[in-house]
Amino acid sequence: MSAATPQCRHARLLIGADPRHLPADVQAHVESCVGCRRFRDETLALDARLQAALELPLPDFRQRPAAPRRWYALAASIFLGLLIAGGAWLYRPSVALAGELVEHVAHEAGSWDQRRQVPAATVADVLRQAGVQFDPTLPVVYAMACPFHGRLMPHFVVQTDHGPMTVMLLPDEKVRVRTRFTEGGYHGVLLPAGEGGVAVLSREGEVPDSVAGQVISGVHW
Amino acid sequence: MNAASRGTTGEAAFTRLLAMLRPDLMRFAFWLARDRAVAEDVVQETLIRAWKSREELKDPAAARPWLFTIVRREHARLYERKRLPTVDVDEVEALGDPALASDGDAGLIDLRRAIMKLPSDYREPLVLQVLGGFSTAEIAAELGLTQPAVLTRLFRARNRLREAYGLQGVEDVE
């Protein structure tokens, strides 16, 4: 890491504290400082692993019996079972998947605000981490390999004539038919792609068929 | 639509919301308590309390931070009520909780152990940010800290984790 000026120390504090939401002045400094840019890239890579580490696989949570409970904990277990069963009954798999994707996108709200095009090498690195092939024909302004359902999912934001749109590649999620959805202020479409699927989400109206077609044409798995 | 059917619809939506967010509540409780059984108790108490207070949630988009706040409070209440002993980090590792090592990724296992070893002052804001999606301002409000204090804690948390990730730590901030 290069010698740190006061400006570098300030930038590294903010990068270390919240690498995905940097103020414009820090962002500008990072772009012009090799040491801070490296620190930012390392911290973003650490954060992707950190998120995967924190997202413990839940099936293993249920392998070990819990400690003895109070009587109403038993009632709570029944209540919880009903909650989960009710949720599964109420919503078909594709709708449940859409809900989880919207939840994920809402969790990374800052991704929509990116304007600067991401280098092709970064996009390639995200795809490599996830083991997925994709040829984005639209400019990518956000690229992250995000933990989702136990594996890394390429999460991109692309710029289109209809505003920014999120593209999520889901090679392991069975999408049987093209499904449009609207949830939590987002409009989206789930697209079948071979054995998996692709999700395209917009905040500014329905995803046009032309954009969906352009995205799906880049999927090669 | 009459009042009764509106209520039924609202309860169904709330039920779905809880089912959707439960996995992350479970994870958050686990990282707070570092004990699976305690985490399960905390989440059960949280769901019951959330259900009773569901009228307080006006905006479904705010459900996640609202529920995380309840998890924090229930975690604190559980320790207060039961006078539970503090979990020893080495004991947690000795137990070899399968949740920590289940995916067989050595790097992730090391990182999880390093997170376990973080002091709660550093671990809690980090988990709120990365898992809970809280902004630094929201973390400050949640923990009753100033925003600069939160920035420092988050910086130090990540700085300690850099080594577990195979990176060099950087100069600390004052």
Comparing alpha-carbon positions, the chain A residue that sits nearest to B125 is A17
Q: Which residues of chain A are within 8 Å of residue B97 when distances are taken between CB atoms?
A: 64
Structure tokens at A160: 């289109």
Residue B1's pLDDT band (cuts 50, 70, 90) = very low
Nearest-neighbour CA in chain B from A84: distance (Å): 5
- Are residues A134 and A218 in contact, defined by beta-carbon separation less than 8 angstroms? yes
Cβ contact A46–B165 (<8 Å): yes
Nearest-neighbour CA in chain B from A139: distance (Å): 26
Return phi, psi of residue A88, to 5°: -70, -35
Spatial distance between the Cα atoms of A172 and A153, rounded to a whole number of angstroms:
10
Of the CA atoms within 13 Å of residue B27, those in its CB half-sphere come to 22
Q: Which residues of chain A are within 8 Å of residue B16 when distances are taken between CB atoms?
A: 86-87, 90-91, 99
Q: What is the pLDDT of residues B154-164, one digit of tens each?
A: 999 999 999 88
- The kind and range of the H/E element at B8 are helix B3-33
**Mutation target vs A (from B17, B42, B44; most A CBs, 10 A cutoff):** B44
Q: Kindly report each contact of residues B166-173 with a partner whose C-beta sits within 8 Å and lies 24 or more positions away, as own/partner.
A: B166/B107, B167/A42, B167/A46, B168/A1, B170/A1, B170/A12, B170/A16, B170/A39, B171/A4, B171/A9, B171/A12, B173/A9, B173/A12, B173/A13, B173/A16
Most confident of A49-63, A153-167, A203-217, B11-25: A153-167
Q: Residue A85: what pLDDT?
A: 47
CA dihedral B143, B148, B151, B155 (to 10 degrees): -120
Q: Residue B143: what pLDDT?
A: 94
Q: Residue A66: what pLDDT?
A: 41
Query: Strand A196-202 relative to strand A151-160: parallel, antiparallel, unpaired?
Result: unpaired
pTM (predicted TM-score): 0.58
> Domain spans of chain B?
1-87, 118-168
Q: Which residues of chain A are within 8 Å of residue B103 when distances are taken between CB atoms?
A: 57, 150
**Mutation target vs B (from A2, A40, A55, A61; most B CBs, 10 A cutoff):** A61
Q: Residue A92: what pLDDT?
A: 45
- A137: pLDDT strictly greater than 50: yes
What's the complex ipTM?
A: 0.85
Nearest-neighbour CA in chain A from B156: distance (Å): 8
Average pLDDT of the segment spanning B107-111? 85
How many interface pairs between A and B have CB atoms less than 8 angstroms apart?
157
Q: Residue A37: what pLDDT?
A: 94
Residue A56 is nearest to which of B27, B51, B152, comparing CB atoms?
Answer: B27
Alpha carbon separation from B62 to A218, B30, B57, B67, B126 (Å, rounded): 35, 22, 8, 9, 19
Nearest-neighbour CA in chain A from B87: distance (Å): 15
Average pLDDT of the segment spanning A28-45? 93
Q: Which residues of chain A are within 8 Å of residue B36 when distances are taken between CB atoms?
A: 61, 64, 66
Residue A9 is nearest to which of B37, B126, B173, comparing CB atoms?
Answer: B173
- Are residues B123 and B157 in contact, defined by beta-carbon separation less than 8 angstroms? yes
Residue B158 is nearest to which of A1, A43, A99, comparing CB atoms?
Answer: A43
Comparing alpha-carbon positions, the chain B residue that sits nearest to A45 is B165
Return phi, psi of residue A181, to 5°: -150, 155
Return phi, psi of residue A166, to 5°: -90, 135
Q: What is the pLDDT of residues A102-136, one digit of tens each?
A: 888 887 777 888 888 888 888 988 888 888 888 88
Quote the DSSP letter at residue A23. -
Comparing alpha-carbon positions, the chain B residue that sits nearest to A78 is B44
Residue A1's pLDDT band (cuts 50, 70, 90) = low
Cβ contact A79–B47 (<8 Å): yes
CATH topology of domain B118-168: Arc Repressor Mutant, subunit A (1.10.10)
Rg (CA), chain A: 20
- A2: pLDDT strictly greater than 70: no
Q: Which residues of chain A are within 8 Å of residue B133 when distances are taken between CB atoms?
A: 106-109
Return phi, psi of residue A146, to 5°: -105, 140
Cβ contact A13–B127 (<8 Å): no
Q: What is the pLDDT of residues A84-109, one digit of tens each?
A: 544 444 444 566 788 888 888 887 77
Q: What is the pLDDT of residues A37-83, one digit of tens each?
A: 999 999 999 998 898 889 887 654 544 434 444 545 555 555 555 55
Q: What residues form DSSP beta bridges with A197?
A: A170, A192
Comparing alpha-carbon positions, the chain B residue that sits nearest to A2 is B170
CATH topology of domain B1-87: Rna Polymerase Sigma Factor; Chain: A (1.10.1740)
Residue A87 is nearest to which of B15, B30, B130, comparing CB atoms?
Answer: B15
Q: Which residues of chain A are within 8 Å of residue B100 when distances are taken between CB atoms?
A: 56
Q: Residue A103: what pLDDT?
A: 83
